[in-house]
Structure 1
């Protein structure tokens, strides 16, 4: 799959959209408004300048009655894009490995889970997360890697070659968390962590070791984040602790604060609310008065945790701290990445906190802003915000609209994307509906889609 093929597929898909839109007598502005987008997006899609996300194509498919043509075309394009990206990533990984390790040959036997093609997922082991069962299951082997990394982090002094390239790799992983599937993320991050562990074990210089352990902390935090999303809370918390160990070895307060924020997030979704507040506050304290993406995130997670226990004043105070830290961020710290924090992310955290408090007016206002700012590919925050809106609609007595919002949201997501914390949240919204809506055929169909078994003790 080469770039020209992808461009041709994108243009063909855009031309077909334009044909179907014209046949229905709609302008680009009409279509944009009807699918909750805008004219410029429709225009860019139709000329092949962009492709937008699956939600856009699902809505166009239904509106234009395309008979599955638009969705299949979009899915085919995305499959080609993923194939192309993975081929490039594999080539880059081989090039980076040779540059950093002085072109030494690493044999298959150097790691029980390394193959010539990269990371090969093992069979699902007993006790793995139900959400992970719907992915290519690699959680147990990733956990073996975590234990091995723990043992390696303290083994000391590698030359500095390639460290900047490794920094770029980690930055790319951070950006990919916004729209890349959890299956692909787990594969890529775990594969690169194997190589990073090898570098740490080769006894680099003291300065290189600090940078490498800082990178190990960031990669561990990314795994914590991804595992949280698929609702494997136990593994997420273990990786958070590994990240904390690595960040401590690196001696970088900003990385420590960011890892602690990820740990707070994992505690929050595990219903360990006291631990979530403690980790979030520790993240803010360890960075002092310096603003960073980690401290802004930590303050926002603290606000959501207080909201879960009904502490209104503490919630508003923590949101204020998050606003303050966000206002002082600049450059990459504001990027759409796991290592950045933007207004879109803050409005998502804010609306969730107000939803938890039952402050419907404030929640709806924050939801409007969060959905306006949410990037097209950021399906997790988009879906959770809409599910919070369904909760608010139920609270105000608009249960039919709540069920419609829930159905539109879940129906717009591919199977793998509606698992984990999204599925948990959707089930809780269904359970809160009045009996009439809860027993409707639409609700029953939704329950059939949300096939992951319910787990108790989850804070949503």
Structure 2
């Protein structure tokens, strides 16, 4: 039987998928050939689609690469396609000698059969083509990716950025491998959506590690993927992440622009709260727009009433609505940037209570640092209490690297310059200096801006 172009293409895709998985696992062709007990040339020819080993080869590949049977499943699909093609060819060879069906007019049967051989295809041929259109990314894999995204969003701030980054990065590589296959448009959209969320998460995590340029690249990729998927809700989520990264990079106009574009795309999405309070209000505060901050804060708290069943503390990169605690904490950050401490303490007290109950070190530290700054800005400043709060914040996050905490601690020290002679304030500066030195001494392939 002559192998069709369609089957050859499927074999090339499977070979390419093997090559990508092998490289991602760190194996050379020579090493991998030894592990699967085949020759190196066989592995090389299989990866280019020029050789078609049996199923045993693919099951060994799955075991070594720990794919969960992905490669053998794709081999089975190609085998099914070949069988269908073979059956179709055999049926087409006998089509012109077929007898008329009992329900066919005998006088016209020969004309109909002859015409049918020219005008339409056999049902087996159609079925074979339908099977060829089946996606190499089935719903099981997509559901797995989507569940992993939800777990990663939930684990952000609970696990250290480096640990979570190491878990998500291979998933992002896996998505690229799946994209090398073919999917129906709805599955393709789901695949692009999962990729967008993973890239956005990687952007936020590299931001935590101080790698601003890498974070910006990941976040831009997240938006492009969301745009390609034509998912407005995901576009809004990605814009919120871009706004976050721009804010901590000191690019407040960009942070505001991303937040506003996200709001235009969000429609009635719950991401409106995060875009408004975390993106818009804080950027406006840094740009000195007091009226804009008031409007954004009021709007964010108004929108909270649309989601009465939201959890006590939402995830920082939540796929749903922001919670009251995060909204209050971000409002306090915005007002502190404007030097307006009235009401800030109430916002922060309620936020700290919620963050402490949830055991989220990052938000616990950030809120304490803001409250410490508020103590310095009161008519009757209390630098010692402020220092105690700052020490608590740095102690809470001693085992985790959060660029946001480091920035907020530096801002606190700037605000407390007139009290630097006090031992508690000197202790805060020493703690921050020690952490900076530890971070600088840790080997990393993630570039950081000065």
Residue in 1 that maps onto 2:434: 449
Residue in 1 that maps onto 2:365: 383
Residue in 2 that maps onto 1:130: none
User: Structure 1 residue aligned with 2:274, among 272, 292, 297?
Assistant: 297
Question: How far did residue 353 of structure 1 move?
Answer: 0.9
2:358 alignment partner, SS class: coil
Residues 324, 291 of structure 1: alpha-carbon distance in 2 compared, 3 angstrom cutoff: farther
User: Structure 1 residue aligned with 2:217, among 238, 253, 264?
Assistant: 238
Paired residues of 1:400 and 1:437 also in contact (CA < 8 A):
no
| 1:401 pairs with 2:385 | yes
Whole-Å Cα distance in 2 between the matches of residues 208 and 333 of structure 1? Answer: 30
Residue in 2 that maps onto 1:168: 147
User: Any stretches of 5+ residues in structure 1 without a counterpart?
Assistant: 1-102, 117-156
Question: How far did residue 223 of structure 1 move?
Answer: 1.3
Residue in 2 that maps onto 1:154: none
Question: How far did residue 457 of structure 1 move?
Answer: 9.7
Residue in 2 that maps onto 1:307: 285
* Aligned positions, number: 314
| 1:286 pairs with 2:271 | no
Task: Describe how 1:63-74 pairs up with structure 2 within 5 A.
Answer: none
Whole-Å Cα distance in 1 between the matches of residues 257 and 157 of structure 2? Answer: 26
| 1:420 pairs with 2:403 | yes
Task: Describe how 1:69-108 pairs up with structure 2 within 5 A.
Answer: none
User: Structure 2 residue aligned with 1:194, among 170, 173, 176?
Assistant: 173
Question: How far did residue 173 of structure 1 move?
Answer: 0.7
Question: How far did residue 217 of structure 1 move?
Answer: 0.8
2:214 alignment partner, SS class: helix
Residue in 2 that maps onto 1:14: none
Residues 436, 319 of structure 1: alpha-carbon distance in 2 compared, 3 angstrom cutoff: closer
Question: How far did residue 346 of structure 1 move?
Answer: 0.9
Question: How far did residue 442 of structure 1 move?
Answer: 2.1
For the pair shown, the structure with the greater C-alpha radius of gyration is 2
Question: How far did residue 109 of structure 1 move?
Answer: 6.0
**TM-score computed with the length of structure 1 as normaliser:** 0.62
Task: Describe how 1:135-284 pairs up with structure 2 within 5 A.
Answer: 158-162=136-140, 163-284=142-263
Whole-Å Cα distance in 2 between the matches of residues 457 and 105 of structure 1? Answer: 37
Task: Describe how 1:362-373 pairs up with structure 2 within 5 A.
Answer: 362-373=343-354
Question: How far did residue 174 of structure 1 move?
Answer: 0.7
Whole-Å Cα distance in 2 between the matches of residues 282 and 429 of structure 1? Answer: 31
| 1:430 pairs with 2:430 | no
Paired residues of 2:273 and 2:300 also in contact (CA < 8 A):
yes
Residues 115, 387 of structure 1: alpha-carbon distance in 2 compared, 3 angstrom cutoff: same
| 1:324 pairs with 2:302 | yes
Residues 104, 380 of structure 1: alpha-carbon distance in 2 compared, 3 angstrom cutoff: farther
Q: Is 225-234 or 236-245 further displaced after alignment?
A: 225-234
Paired residues of 1:158 and 1:205 also in contact (CA < 8 A):
no
Paired residues of 1:223 and 1:239 also in contact (CA < 8 A):
yes
Question: How far did residue 435 of structure 1 move?
Answer: 3.9
Whole-Å Cα distance in 2 between the matches of residues 334 and 253 of structure 1? Answer: 26
Q: Is 383-392 or 341-350 further displaced after alignment?
A: 341-350
2:343 alignment partner, SS class: helix
